[in-house]
Amino acid sequence: MVDLINGKIGKSIFRFAVPMFIGNLFQQLYNIMDSVIVGNFLGKEALAAVGASFPIVYTLIALIIGIGSGGTVVVSQYYGANDIAKVKRSIDTIFIFLFVASLITSTLGIIFAVPLFGLLQLPENLIPEATIYLRIFLGGMIVFFGFSGISSILRGLGDSKTPLYFLVISTIVNIILDLLFILVFKWGIAGAALATVIAQGGAFISLVIYLNKTHDIIKFRFTNISFDWVIFKDIVRIGLPTGFQQTFVALGMMALLGIVNGFGTDVIAAYTVAGRIDAMASMPAMAFSAALATFVGQNIGAGQIERVKQGLRSTIIMSTIYCLFISVIAIVFGEFLMGMFTNDANVIRVGHEYLIIVSSFYILFTLMFAFTGVQRGAGATLIPMFITLISLWLIRIPIAYFLSKEIGETGIWWAIPIAWAVGMIGSSGYYFSGKWKNKGVVKNKM
């Protein structure tokens, strides 16, 4: 585990962020390999069906994952305050919550899959395959939530490496199973979904066994597990605004997809592929933000507010360097990257156009996430939620709709950086107001 309370600040955050970045990278490879293999061997219609499933999955899990992020903050602050008993009770509470939530999420998604695709105005010819993919994927929610929950808890304790090792193995298994199920068994799009569920399930079970044998604090068991309502209230208080924020982001993705769907299969496929590349490119900023949140949580728990401010400065410097590098890669090699997923010239053209516009403004996204990371680690999640809602629902969606009518699908792409600019201004303004400092579960005089 990385010591985030003592030592050199920039080095500590960097050492903690890198495994998370690599882990997020491999997590994205689950979706990317599905898209690469599906796009090349099953065609652009199947590729569009996979892409149409993602916003629905994200919408269904966003609230739960957001609330679970409150658990990470609670664990990190109690750990920073060296209150191990409350750390253990927090972990038990998180496990029980995620187990129940996974069952509810899977059931709702499987039942309402077809109506949801209809609501998104997905072309009729894509709905059958999209429904198959979505239902199989959602059937594995219990292992997805389980692995995600354990990873979040480990990060709260300062350990970002252990989840990475299991993710790497899981991603390799996913790729092998994708090829086996699609090319050898000829299971089509169902094979792609099943490969992901099996690989994720294997990672979760293996991680549970490993931690039960080796970890001093985390013990996954079915007996003598307790649910602490007081701690759960803190988790919900901190995590619920993030959960609502993520839910409205997910709904925003569905709204954007609804606008995109009006332009037909080629644009849907291009949006799917470019979105995968865009998600990969945004990983460093998100990893640094998550690392900063844990850093802030532990240092607020320990009463070291000056290290928090220095941590933000170090994070902005490091993440900006990475973001500028990635922007150049996405702009210069965007067409080549699109070509890895499909050989359709029009899909490549539209997707490259998306990458040129969006990646030119990654710096705005990076700064916004850095400021938000401080606020999330401090437990101040309500105002960032409102900032996100404003930038998404009052800026991105209306502008995307208006510009798409005026200049076509290009207008949808331009709405993304415009919304980032509003979000960055709002999140930086809240940081400099200082009102985020005493929102955590461990109260110190700041």
pLDDT of residue 438: 72
* Range 411-419 average pLDDT: 94
- Asked whether residue 441 is assigned to any structural domain, the reply reads no
How many domains are there within the chain? Answer: 1
Has residue 100 been placed in a domain?
A: yes
Mean pLDDT lowest among 65-69, 141-145, 201-205, 310-314: 65-69
Q: Read off the pLDDT of residues 370-386 as tens digits, 9 standing for 90 and up.
A: 999 999 888 888 888 89
Query: What is the arithmetic mean of pLDDT over 304-315?
Result: 89
**Res. 393: pLDDT tops 60:** yes
Query: Given a cut of 70, is residue 3 above it in pLDDT?
Result: no
pLDDT tens, position by position, 9-56:
888 888 888 888 887 777 776 667 777 788 888 887 887 888 788 778
Is residue 443 scored above 60 in pLDDT? no
- pLDDT in the model for residue 367: 94
Asked whether residue 183 is assigned to any structural domain, the reply reads yes
With respect to residue 440, please indicate whether it lies within any of the assigned structural domains.
no
86-114 mean pLDDT: 90
Report residue 300's pLDDT band, with 50, 70 and 90 as the boundaries.
confident
* Residue-level pLDDT at 257: 83
pTM of the model: 0.72
pLDDT of residue 287: 86
The pLDDT value recorded for residue 442 is 57
Q: Is residue 340 part of a domain?
A: yes
Asked whether 381 and 242 are in contact (CB, 8 A), the reply is yes
Q: Which domain does 385 fall in, by range?
A: 9-433
Q: Tell me, yes or no, whether 443 lies in a domain.
A: no
In the chain, % of residues over pLDDT 90: 31
16 located within any domain: yes
Say yes or no to pLDDT of 261 above 60.
yes
Q: 158 vs 16, 94, 284, 294, 333, CA distance in Å?
A: 7, 17, 18, 7, 35
The answer to whether residue 445 is domain-embedded is no
Compute the average pLDDT of residues 157-179. Answer: 88
